[in-house]
Structure 1
Amino acid sequence: MSRIRVLIADDHPVFRYGLRALLLAEATMIEVVGEAATGTEAVSLTFECVPDVVLMDLNMPGLNGIEATRQILAKSPHTGILVLTMFEDDESVLAAMKAGARGYLLKGAEGDEAIRAITAVSKGEAIFSPSIASRLFGYFDSTKQKLFSRSVEPFPDLTPREREVLTLIAQGYTNSTIAERFVLSPKTVRNHVSSIFSKLQVASRAEAIIMARDAGGFKKSP
């Protein structure tokens, strides 16, 4: 099984050192292919090293992490961007998602959580730290009344099952977890997700989550 190729982009040498040490301890499954101290370096090294996942800091000198994410995905849309930062404000979270990042993890996360996030993002999944997920749930809850006040249901082209799947996608569930929840085969879930992306005209789970949040009514399950 091939290792996950990871590029670290952060302007703090000590943090890069600690993160590299963490990833080197997982050498059987993760390979660190490069390190960048600026957004500009992150973009150029991504195209040079071709990582599966870029661990992207937001606050870097010159080109920031959001713009670096946009530039990378414009030319390499299959690269997984996992934001790893101290910032958890609404604006930063949404900006990262809109730029195309697949995940958002705070720098205070435990090592095991970071490894799980890298693995998930490498597989195309969207993942968020617990505090960020709670913030997203808050978005969904705050727009619930807006949905109920509308005479037209959002995403009318979706089937009832696709709406259920979209709700779980918006809550950060993986395809395998959705399959277990609805007692469906993984292939059936993949087909539902593909159909949802096609009907919503989006290319990623992050874009689907943003659309779900903007439409409202996608709240945390009890």
Structure 2
Amino acid sequence: MERENDSLVVSEEGRTRNYSGRGQFEEPAPQSATAVQWPHFLAGQHAKPVRVLLVAPDPSIQRVIAQELLDDRRIQLEAQANTLREGRRLLMRLEFEVLMVDVCLVDGSGFELIEEAKKHRSTPEVIAISARLDEAQALHAFDLGASGYLVQTAWLQSYAQAVLHVVNGGAAVTPTLARRLLAHLNHSRANGNPVRPPTGRATLTERELEVLQLIALGNVGAAIAKQLRISPQTVNVHIKSIYRKLQVHTRAQAVTCATNKGLL
């Protein structure tokens, strides 16, 4: 990542993407006196901006989102964290209107923070963030009370606009993901079936899948911890969660069950 002309530039697999802070593909704010003013009855006034707590493990992604939020005077970035533990600490200490959290944190699942946030005294809105376009994860986040789900690599979206949407009673979903969810809805209705999350990866988080894949390759706790750069204790937490979700009692059973479900 580098900065050019007050913009953040992120290189991804040989491609260069420029984030100007106004939102991806968002037009520059009008400069004339006739520019449309933000309605006074909506949350996000300059005198009382929307307070946001951002929890994301990737420093580059965190900087990109943070810059866009800071560039909008209707939003106040209250605090940032990159782990579940730090997020919980901020959750207990701060008042805020919107939580933006990555579903895959280095020391646990962002879904845990979503659940805890919905019990917070300030009853914040929640926007889940993910590196993957995953319908199952999105539906799980919505089930837990999230009002938005944004895929980090998507172009046609704005983090700042997403915050303003959810805090004013709307929803914020990456357009491509919304199209997929609509396709699932239409397919279910056409077949007379209730809408259910897609099978397969719906049961495990990204980190749990990584741990399970390493288990399937014959790795033990210490080796898994080293490869994923987490503590052995965190590995054990993930393994216990895998056992509970798959309803198994051994690593061999977990691998067999995951293989049958198409997870491996």
TM-score, normalised by the number of residues in structure 2: 0.52
Deviation at 1:123, TM superposition (A): 1.5
Paired residues for 1:1-222 under 5 Å: 1=45, 2-26=48-72, 28-76=73-121, 78-110=123-155, 113-147=158-192
Higher relative contact order (CA 8 A, sep 6+): 1
Gaps of at least 5 residues in structure 2 are: 1-44, 195-264
Gaps of at least 5 residues in structure 1 are: 151-222
Question: 3-state SS of the aligned residue for 1:108?
Answer: coil
Contact 1:56 1:84 in 2 (8 A): yes
Deviation at 1:111, TM superposition (A): 8.4
Runs ≥4 in structure 1, deviation > 6 angstroms? none
**Higher fraction of helix:** 1
Structure 2 CA distance for aligned equivalents of residues 7 and 34 of structure 1: 5
Kindly tell me: are residues 120 and 44 of structure 1, through their superposed partners in 2, closer, same or farther at Cα, counting changes over 3 Å?
same
Deviation at 1:84, TM superposition (A): 1.8
Contact 1:67 1:99 in 2 (8 A): no
Question: 3-state SS of the aligned residue for 1:82?
Answer: strand
Contact 1:40 1:62 in 2 (8 A): yes
Question: 3-state SS of the aligned residue for 2:99?
Answer: strand
Deviation at 1:76, TM superposition (A): 4.0
Could you say what the CA RMSD is over the residues aligned between the two structures, in angstroms? 2.1
Structure 2 CA distance for aligned equivalents of residues 110 and 4 of structure 1: 24
Q: How many residues align?
A: 148
TM-score, normalised by the number of residues in structure 1: 0.61
CA deviations on 1:47-104 (whole Å, 9 max, x unpaired) are 3121211111011022311111011212347211111221222221111111111101
